[in-house]
Structure 1
Amino acid sequence: MLEVSAHIARGDFSLEVAFSSDARITCLFGRSGAGKTTVAELVAGLIRPVRGRVALDGQVLFDSDHGVSVPAWRRRIGYVFQDARLFPHMTVRDNLLYGARRAGDRHPELDEAAARLGLEALLERSPGALSGGETRRVAIGRALLTRPRLLILDEPLAGLDGARRGDILPWLDQLARDGPPIL
């Protein structure tokens, strides 16, 4: 169960948000600039609201009234940004393993993740040699290898043409059935 209730202010932008969801997939939708990414960043712990509360599966991640603020790196939330943010100096393999290694996982399930996302043949490539759909799948794989309790996908199809969207939709469908809950 994801529970969010907060007041967020960033410059001239102000947002009141309140929702709870125990669904496998929770979608935020609205026009550009409505605050979808801001809410994702709030849940991930990348921004701090003026006031509010965020809880995941009964664990309070942020509560302004009680002085609770779990840092982003301790929330176990995988975040796939709108732009994949792969490290250009690393291979696909190293990009996939980056988060798991930082989390102290000595035996990440790289082979399983690569197979699930169709990345086996790409492991030694550099990110610059990948298509848009391949790049998205690597970013999703990197987030999944951290073994998150929640996966945040910020516009996972943004910037992809119709063919690339068709490439990635089956992976997202499988992820929705077999992976962690998705925001």
Structure 2
Amino acid sequence: MLELRFNKQLGQLQLDVDVKLPESGITALFGRSGAGKTSFIQVVSGLTPPDHGKLMLGNRLLCDTREGIHLPPEHRRIGYVFQDARLFPHYRVIGNLRYGCQGKPDDALFDEVIHLLDIAHLLNRYPSALSGGEKQRVAIGRALFSQPEMLLMDEPLASLDLPRKQELMPYLESLAKSVKIPVLYVTHSLDEILRLADHMVVLEQGKVVANGELAEVWSSSVMRPWLSTKEQSAVLQLKVTQHHPVYSLTQLEIAPGVPLWVSRVRRPEGELIRVRIHANDVSLARVKPEQTSIRNVLPAIVDHIEQHQYQTDIVIIRLSIGHSRLTAHITPWALDELQLQVGDSLYAQIKGVSLSQQDLA
């Protein structure tokens, strides 16, 4: 567990943090410009000392202002990848990578990271001969060669144009699946969060306003200002249970004994994949529809009903299907006609399911 409790006065901004984060996987740090995201990870890295606080990485103490303990950055075993790659221009790629080894090269690790980031063909080039995406892959490799116990990534795609972002994203997805250390990933891109993150922290004016698993935070009220009505959705991690023998469909398990059919994915049975279900693609029925073209008609329970904050013609219905949570948008007329109340049983018809690009690969 990564435990971070600290505060830091930064001009007019008071950064006030008290969170516990997973010890592996990617935690996205999200918020408006000026919310304190970069300052957050600079405190964690040791580049900026907190005014007060305590930072623990597993059972290792990084900082405790009461005890006067503040490990310098070079002793924290934390890798840092900046917006710009910051490679040494006078070193070839292999020299930049070896610099991350801190004089203790590990051939097995070297081969593993070279393969993960697909940079073997770049080893003898100078940074000036690399694209922006290639530079970032080398910067990530250099950070991993230091064998860090945590990795910090400060908007690594922000300085890249769209083609270079698309070039680098598959490598970040591979990193997300393979890394066994905590990664704090600063971004203002919702697409990056959906494709990479397992956990999410939302900062607002230096305060943590949401912290939890991606699915939980994504569907919370905190995210509504960031998502248009069309983009309101639920994000779920579901297990592949079978591939249809005839049709190009894959069955996932949305709840015990409850299947969800999606377009065929190239993933083996038993593997987890990420799906996104938009609220506008979920309709509700009191009685199970028969002879319908919609393949997913699922039993659900009404958890919560509320009027949309900005649009009076939309009512938000929160649903549970086992441990999975969905959202549906219906009209006030439909609400009155169905006479829905919290706790009611009904059927959710799901018209469309979006899949993470890495699950379609």
Specify if TM > 0.5: yes
| Separation in structure 2 between the aligned mates of residue 89 and residue 12 of structure 1, nearest angstrom | 40
User: 3-state DSSP class of the match of 1:151?
Assistant: strand
1:150 alignment counterpart: 150
1:169 alignment counterpart: 169
1:182 alignment counterpart: 183
User: How far did 1:84 drift?
Assistant: 1.0
In the TM superposition, 1:31-180 aligns within 5 A as 31-100=32-101, 102=102, 104-108=103-107, 109-179=109-179, 180=181
User: 3-state DSSP class of the match of 2:165?
Assistant: helix
| Separation in structure 1 between the aligned mates of residue 183 and residue 106 of structure 2, nearest angstrom | 24
| Separation in structure 2 between the aligned mates of residue 21 and residue 110 of structure 1, nearest angstrom | 28
| Separation in structure 2 between the aligned mates of residue 106 and residue 55 of structure 1, nearest angstrom | 28
CA contact (8 A) 2:98 2:105 kept: no
Show CA shifts across 1:107-160 (max 9, x none): 353232222101111111111111111011000000000111111111111111
Show CA shifts across 1:8-40 (max 9, x none): 123444311221111511111111111111111
| Separation in structure 2 between the aligned mates of residue 113 and residue 18 of structure 1, nearest angstrom | 33
Amino acid at match of 2:29: L
| Separation in structure 1 between the aligned mates of residue 156 and residue 87 of structure 2, nearest angstrom | 14
User: 3-state DSSP class of the match of 1:38?
Assistant: helix
User: 3-state DSSP class of the match of 2:30?
Assistant: coil
| Separation in structure 1 between the aligned mates of residue 85 and residue 105 of structure 2, nearest angstrom | 24
User: 3-state DSSP class of the match of 1:25?
Assistant: strand
| Separation in structure 1 between the aligned mates of residue 57 and residue 25 of structure 2, nearest angstrom | 13
User: How far did 1:87 drift?
Assistant: 0.6
User: How far did 1:68 drift?
Assistant: 1.5
Bigger share in strand: 2
User: 3-state DSSP class of the match of 1:47?
Assistant: coil
User: How far did 1:92 drift?
Assistant: 0.6
User: 3-state DSSP class of the match of 1:29?
Assistant: strand
Alignment gaps of 5+ in structure 2: 185-361
Q: Root-mean-square deviation (CA), in Å?
A: 1.4
Bigger share in helix: 1
**Between the two proteins, what is the percent identity of the paired residues?**
48
User: How far did 1:6 drift?
Assistant: 0.9
2:261 alignment counterpart: none
| Separation in structure 2 between the aligned mates of residue 67 and residue 170 of structure 1, nearest angstrom | 42
User: 3-state DSSP class of the match of 2:25?
Assistant: coil
Aligned residue-pair number: 181
Amino acid at match of 2:124: E
| Separation in structure 2 between the aligned mates of residue 32 and residue 106 of structure 1, nearest angstrom | 39
Amino acid at match of 1:105: K
User: How far did 1:106 drift?
Assistant: 3.4
| 1:7 and 2:7 are equivalent in the alignment | yes
Of structures 1 and 2, the one with the larger relative CO (CA 8 A, separation 6+) is: 1
Q: Which has the larger radius of gyration?
A: 2
Amino acid at match of 1:126: Y
Show CA shifts across 1:25-59 (max 9, x none): 11111111111111111111111011111110121
CA contact (8 A) 2:4 2:55 kept: yes
- 66-75 or 86-95, which deviates more: 66-75
Amino acid at match of 1:137: R
User: 3-state DSSP class of the match of 2:100?
Assistant: helix
| Separation in structure 1 between the aligned mates of residue 165 and residue 105 of structure 2, nearest angstrom | 33
